[in-house]
Each structure stands twice: as structure tokens, then as C-alpha cells.
Amino acid sequence: MIDTHCHLDLPRFDDDRDAALERAWAAGVTGLVVPGVAPSTWAALLEWPRRDARVQVGLGIHPQLLPELEERDDEKHLSHLDELLSCGGAIAVGECGLDGPTVATAPMERQVRVLRGHFALARKHRLPLLMHCLRAHPALLEVLKTEPVPEAGLLMHSYSGSADLTTKYLKHGCHFSFAGPVSFAEARRPIDALKSVPLDRLLAETDAPDQAPHPHRGQRSEPAYLPLIIDAMAKQRGEPPETLRRALLDNTRRLFPVFQG
Ligand SMILES: [Zn+2]
């Protein structure tokens, strides 16, 4: 099992990061992807896979972080990202994307400009994109009309779009990953979204420290909870857990070849 999206670099893991990793390995997790969210974290993140190849990283600018960064520095950050990606060591571009609730402090126009920069870098460096899209699906679909999805793929993380949206993203070749909410009995949106995705486009994540699955709901999430999420996914989709695990692993390795055997 591979956790395709967890923010283990955040301060909320400062006290027990190594212990959280040990719990993950003990739970049967064999690899994880930490998506970088801010330029200030990129250099340190790149050290991680060198120490432990089970931990792989993406590099990007999260739209929710844009209000903390000067708009005039956006281009500078993207060229720095270009340089770092040229050196190797990152397996994806992101986390990047569009965030509806953040438009008040980072207008959609700026978010789209920065996102287009990530698309260009993903194509140039032949890496998949790790996409955050919260209440901004029309804007993202508009971007996809003119930004070709990188050949290496695009992963819609913690996806909760409607079945209709899923069809549109599928046409662009997107993959979809799901986190803790698929284990909440009343969470209709993510569960409907989960059921709308074909098995060969499906991935799993904890999105730690957020979105902890049942029975840890409301607490800090961590990669060791991934089996709970995968079991919930299997139950909701009516598939044998072993079939789903196998498919998730195959899909993950296709998107992130570094996890190949
Ligand atoms: Zn994230």
C-alpha cells in the first residue's frame, strides 16, 4: 500500500515524525508521497528520499499558500522550481491547484497563472501533477481546455466532484485519489465520487494530518491509517479488498514508477 498524499513534513508531525513513519511501515504501508506546498520547504524535502527511498516528494505551490507569498515573486518561485526539478529527486509537480475559498486573498486570475506555470513544468520535466481543486471545478476545467495534461499524468487528490465532473476529468486522462471521508457513512459527495471512478484510475491517500478516517475522525490523520481508508473504499465500491489493493498498487506504480518493486 502506498499513501499517495500525506503532509508528513508539516509541524504537526515535529514531535513524532519518525514514530509516525514506523507505525505506517508496521501497518503495511510500503511507500508514501509528501507533496511540497511552499517554496521555503522544497530544499529540505529533496533530502528526504535520499535518506529513505520509501518517502518520495513532489514540489509545488499550494493555492492556499499564495496569500502568504508576494505576487511579484510568483515567477521567481516558478523558475526556482524549474531549477530544482532539473536536478532530479522529485517524482511529481505539486501540490498545486485552485482553491475557491482562497480567492478572497489570492484572486482566481493569480491562482490560474501559477497553476499554468506548474502545468508547463510538469510537461517539461515529464512528471505527473498533484492537483488540489476545492470548489473551483469550473475554473480548472477551463484551464484544461488549453493546458494539455502532462504525459506523466494528473492526480486529482482528495477528489469529491460529481459523477458528471468525473466523466469530464476522465476524458483528460486524470487519475483520482480518496482520503478519510470515504469512511464516513453520511459523506455522500466523496462516496458518490469514489463510485464514479473506474478501477484503473483510482488511488488512495491519507491527506495527513487532515481528513482522518473513521474511527479517528476529527483527530490528526497519519499514513498508518491508510488500510482503514482502502478497506472503506472496497466496502463502498463492493469490491474484494485484495482486488482493490492490487489495482491501487498497479495504478500508483504507473503514475509514480519510482515505487516499482
Ligand atoms: Zn495536500
User: According to the model, what pLDDT value does residue 258 have?
Assistant: 97
- C-alpha pair distances (Å), 76 with each of 85, 166, 198, 231: 14, 34, 39, 43
Identify the CATH number of the domain in which residue 65 sits.
Answer: 3.20.20.140
Whether 168 is covered by a domain: the verdict is yes
- Write out pLDDT tens, residues 127-163: 999 999 999 999 999 999 999 999 999 999 999 899 8
Instruction: Give 261 Cα–ligand 1 centroid separation in angstroms.
Output: 26
- Domain holding 32, by residue range, is 2-9+19-259
Whether 230 is covered by a domain: the verdict is yes
Task: Compute φ and ψ for 137, nearest 5 degrees.
Answer: -60, -40
Q: How many domains does the chain have?
A: 1
Instruction: Give 198 Cα–ligand 1 centroid separation in angstroms.
Output: 23
Q: Is the pTM of this model over 0.95?
A: yes
Rg (CA), the chain: 17
- Write out pLDDT tens, residues 67-122: 999 999 999 999 999 999 999 999 999 999 999 999 999 999 999 999 999 999 99
Instruction: Give 58 Cα–ligand 1 centroid separation in angstroms.
Output: 11
Instruction: Give 75 Cα–ligand 1 centroid separation in angstroms.
Output: 22
User: According to the model, what pLDDT value does residue 160 have?
Assistant: 87
Instruction: Give 142 Cα–ligand 1 centroid separation in angstroms.
Output: 22
User: According to the model, what pLDDT value does residue 88 have?
Assistant: 95
Contact status, residue 238 vs residue 228, Cβ threshold 8 Å = no
Instruction: Give 132 Cα–ligand 1 centroid separation in angstroms.
Output: 7
Whether 161 is covered by a domain: the verdict is yes
Q: How confident is the model at residue 261 (pLDDT cuts 50, 70, 90)?
A: low
Give the three cell numbers for residue 69.
507569498
Instruction: Give 207 Cα–ligand 1 centroid separation in angstroms.
Output: 6
Instruction: Give 94 Cα–ligand 1 centroid separation in angstroms.
Output: 9
Whether 14 is covered by a domain: the verdict is no
Whether 62 is covered by a domain: the verdict is yes
User: According to the model, what pLDDT value does residue 134 have?
Assistant: 96
- C-alpha pair distances (Å), 79 with each of 34, 117, 118, 193: 21, 9, 10, 35
- Write out pLDDT tens, residues 33-68: 999 999 999 999 999 999 999 999 999 999 999 999
Instruction: Give 11 Cα–ligand 1 centroid separation in angstroms.
Output: 14
Q: Where are the alpha helices (DSSP H) in 87-207?
A: 108-124, 137-146, 163-171, 188-196
CA distance 46 to 198: 33
Specify which residues 55 forms β-bridges with: 32
- Write out pLDDT tens, residues 157-215: 999 899 899 999 999 999 999 999 999 989 999 999 999 999 999 999 999 999 999 99
Instruction: Give 13 Cα–ligand 1 centroid separation in angstroms.
Output: 15
Whether 167 is covered by a domain: the verdict is yes
- Write out pLDDT tens, residues 1-39: 999 999 999 999 999 999 999 999 999 999 999 999 999
Instruction: Give 53 Cα–ligand 1 centroid separation in angstroms.
Output: 20
Instruction: Give 7 Cα–ligand 1 centroid separation in angstroms.
Output: 6
Contact status, residue 252 vs residue 153, Cβ threshold 8 Å = no
To the nearest whole number, what is the mean pLDDT of the chain?
Answer: 97
> What percentage of the chain exceeds 70 in pLDDT?
100
Whether 65 is covered by a domain: the verdict is yes
CA distance 261 to 259: 6
Q: Could you list which residues have their CB under 5 Å from ion ligand 1?
A: 95
